[in-house]
C-alpha cells in the first residue's frame, strides 16, 4: 500500500484547541468532575466514559434527549452502549417495576417474574435452559465455567479485539486485569490462522468464546464463513462454542448469530434485556446447563444475591413481552442498516479519511479511509482525527461513545436521525478545512 508523505492535517494543536473549546463550554461539568475525582479515582467508575479533558455530567434524560449540567441538550445516539434501547423515560418498564416492587422487594425467594423472563428468553432465542447473572461479564464467566467443567479441559480460545467484560478484555492481547484463564488468542476474521490454532490446542480447548460482531472492538462484523468455520472446527475438536451476544442479541428476531444461520452451544446475554437494570444471562443446551441442577450429585454452584432480583426480572419481561418483540427487533435492525448507509453517503461527500462499520443499530466510525475488518486495522486509526470527530459531534449536540460508536434506541426519532446527519455533515466540513 502506498504511504502518503504529507503530514496529517489532524494535528495535536487542533486537538488541543478542540479540547479548550469543550472545556470553555462546560464549566459545570468540569466542576462536577473535580468533585468526583476527590472520591473516585479518575473521577469515574466506568473507564469507557472517561476522556480528556473531562467527561460531561448529565442531569436529565427524556426519550432520546439528554441534558447536561450546563444546560446543553444532546441527541443520545450512544444508547448506553446498547443497554439503553428504550430511551430514558419508557413508562411501561417503570410502571411494571414499580408495581412489582410494591408486591415484593429485596426478598431471597423464588418468584414468578424470573420464571416468566426465563420462559420468554428460551422461547425467543431457542434455548433449552437459561440462568441469570448481574452483568454480561458474569454471564461470560459462568459460561466459561460451564464449558471448563463439562469438558474437563483448561484452555479458552478468544479473539484479538474481543471484549467480554471488565476481566475478559482482548483489545491488544490479554489485559493485566483479566481473569487468570489459559487463553489462546486467535486472529478475528482470519479463518486459516484460527484453524491452525484450533489444530494446535484442540485437545486442551474447553471453549471458543466469540462475538458475532466485535462490539467494543469497533463494530466489526464477523465474516459469516469465518464464524461457521470456527464453530465447525471447534466442535470437531470437542470444544464448546460460546457466542457472546451481550450486545448483538438485539439484531433481528433472535440475535446476530441466528441471522448468520448458526447456533452456539451456550449464548451470553446482557444490556438492553434488563430494560435499564443490571442484567446478564447465559443459556443454551440442556446437556451443558443442567450441570447447575442441584438434584445432580456434583452440580456446579452458582449463587448470587441479585441474580433474580425482582426489578430486573420484571423489566426483562416487559422488554421481551412487549417492547422488543421479534417483529420490532427486525424493524429496528433494518432502520439501523438504513441509517448506516446514510452515514456512508455523508462520509462520501467529504475528503476526510473516515469509514463506518457495523450491523443494524450498532454503528462505529473509524478514522481511516477504508473500513477495518479486524482489531489490528482498528488500531491503525488516526487518534487525533478520531478525537476531533468525537468532540466535534459533541459540540453539535450529538452524544456518542468516546471511541466513536452509535447504538440506536427505539426512542430516537426520524427527525433526530436527520439532525444527526446534518451535524455530521457540518462537522466533516469543518474537519476538511
Ligand X SMILES: Cc1ncc(COP(=O)(O)O)c(C=O)c1O
3-state secondary structure of 308: coil
Question: DSSP string of 332-350?
Answer: HHHHHHHHHHHHHHHHHTS
In terms of Cα–Cα distance, which of 311, 282, 252, 277 is closest to 97? 311
What span, in angstroms and rounded, lies between the C-alpha atoms of 77 and 66? 10
What span, in angstroms and rounded, lies between the C-alpha atoms of 20 and 52? 10
Q: Are 163 and 211 in contact (CB under 8 A)?
A: yes
Q: Name the helix (H) or strand (E) containing 272.
A: none
- Tally of residues, the chain: 433
Percent of the chain as helix, strand, coil, to the nearest 5: 45, 15, 35
Q: Which residue has the cell 452509535?
A: 406
Q: Are 217 and 171 in contact (CB under 8 A)?
A: yes
- List residues near ligand X by CB under 6 A: 81, 135-137, 140, 163-165, 211, 215-216, 244, 246-247, 270, 280
Q: Are 153 and 237 in contact (CB under 8 A)?
A: no
CA distances from 373 to 18, 189, 246, 344, 384 (A): 29, 7, 20, 16, 21
CA distances from 240 to 224, 293, 294, 369 (A): 18, 19, 22, 37
Work out whether strand 280-284 and strand 129-133 pair parallel, antiparallel, or are unpaired: antiparallel
CB of 282 to ligand X, least distance (A): 11
Set of cell numbers at residue 341: 448507509
CB of 213 to ligand X, least distance (A): 9
CB of 325 to ligand X, least distance (A): 23
Amino acid at each position: 500500500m502506498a504511504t502518503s508523505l504529507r503530514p496529517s492535517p489532524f494535528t495535536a494543536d487542533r486537538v488541543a484547541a478542540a479540547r479548550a473549546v469543550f472545556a470553555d463550554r462546560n464549566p459545570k461539568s468540569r466542576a462536577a468532575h473535580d468533585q468526583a475525582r476527590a472520591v473516585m479515582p479518575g473521577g469515574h467508575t466506568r473507564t469507557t466514559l472517561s476522556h480528556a479533558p473531562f467527561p460531561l455530567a448529565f442531569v436529565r434524560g427524556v426519550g432520546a434527549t439528554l441534558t447536561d449540567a450546563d444546560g446543553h441538550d444532546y441527541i443520545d445516539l450512544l444508547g448506553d452502549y446498547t443497554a439503553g434501547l428504550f430511551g430514558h423515560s419508557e413508562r411501561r418498564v417503570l410502571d411494571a417495576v414499580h408495581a412489582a416492587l410494591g408486591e415484593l422487594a429485596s426478598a431471597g425467594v423464588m418468584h414468578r417474574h424470573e420464571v416468566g423472563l426465563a420462559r420468554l428468553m428460551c422461547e425467543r432465542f431457542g434455548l433449552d435452559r437459561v440462568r441469570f447473572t448481574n452483568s454480561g461479564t458474569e454471564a461470560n464467566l459462568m459460561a466459561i465455567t460451564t464449558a471448563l467443567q463439562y469438558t474437563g479441559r483448561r484452555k479458552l480460545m478468544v479473539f484479538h479485539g474481543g471484549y467480554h467484560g471488565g476481566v475478559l478484555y482482548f483489545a491488544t492481547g490479554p489485559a493485566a486485569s483479566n481473569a487468570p484463564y489459559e487463553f489462546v488468542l486467535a486472529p478475528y476474521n482470519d479463518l486459516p490462522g484460527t484453524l491452525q490454532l484450533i489444530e494446535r490446542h484442540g485437545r486442551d480447548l474447553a471453549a471458543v468464546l466469540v462475538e458475532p460482531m466485535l462490539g467494543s472492538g469497533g463494530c466489526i462484523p464477523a465474516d459469516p464463513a469465518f464464524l461457521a468455520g470456527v464453530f465447525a472446527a471447534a466442535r470437531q475438536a470437542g470444544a464448546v462454542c460460546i457466542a457472546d451476544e451481550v450486545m448483538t442479541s438485539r439484531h433481528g428476531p433472535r440475535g446476530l448469530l441466528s441471522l448468520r444461520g448458526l447456533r452456539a452451544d451456550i449464548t451470553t446475554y446482557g444490556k438492553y434485556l434488563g430494560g435499564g437494570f443490571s442484567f446478564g444471562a447465559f443459556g443454551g443446551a440442556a446437556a451443558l446447563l443442567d450441570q447447575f441442577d442441584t438434584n445432580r450429585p456434583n452440580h456446579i454452584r452458582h449463587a448470587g444475591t441479585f441474580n433474580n432480583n425482582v426489578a430486573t426480572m420484571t423489566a426483562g419481561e416487559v422488554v421481551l413481552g412487549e417492547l422488543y418483540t421479534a417483529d420490532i427487533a427486525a424493524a429496528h435492525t433494518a432502520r439501523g442498516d438504513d441509517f448506516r448507509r446514510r452515514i456512508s453517503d455523508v462520509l462520501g461527500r467529504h475528503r476526510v479519511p473516515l469509514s463506518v462499520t457495523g450491523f443494524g443499530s450498532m454503528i462505529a466510525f473509524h478514522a481511516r479511509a477504508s473500513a477495518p475488518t479486524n482489531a489490528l486495522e482498528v488500531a491503525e486509526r488516526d487518534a487525533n482525527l478520531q478525537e476531533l470527530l468525537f468532540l466535534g459531534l459533541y459540540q453539535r449536540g450529538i452524544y456518542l461513545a468516546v471511541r466513536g460508536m452509535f447504538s440506536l434506541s427505539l426512542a430516537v426519532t426520524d427527525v433526530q436521525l436527520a439532525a444527526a446527519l446534518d451535524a455530521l455533515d457540518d462537522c466533516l466540513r469543518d474537519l476538511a478545512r
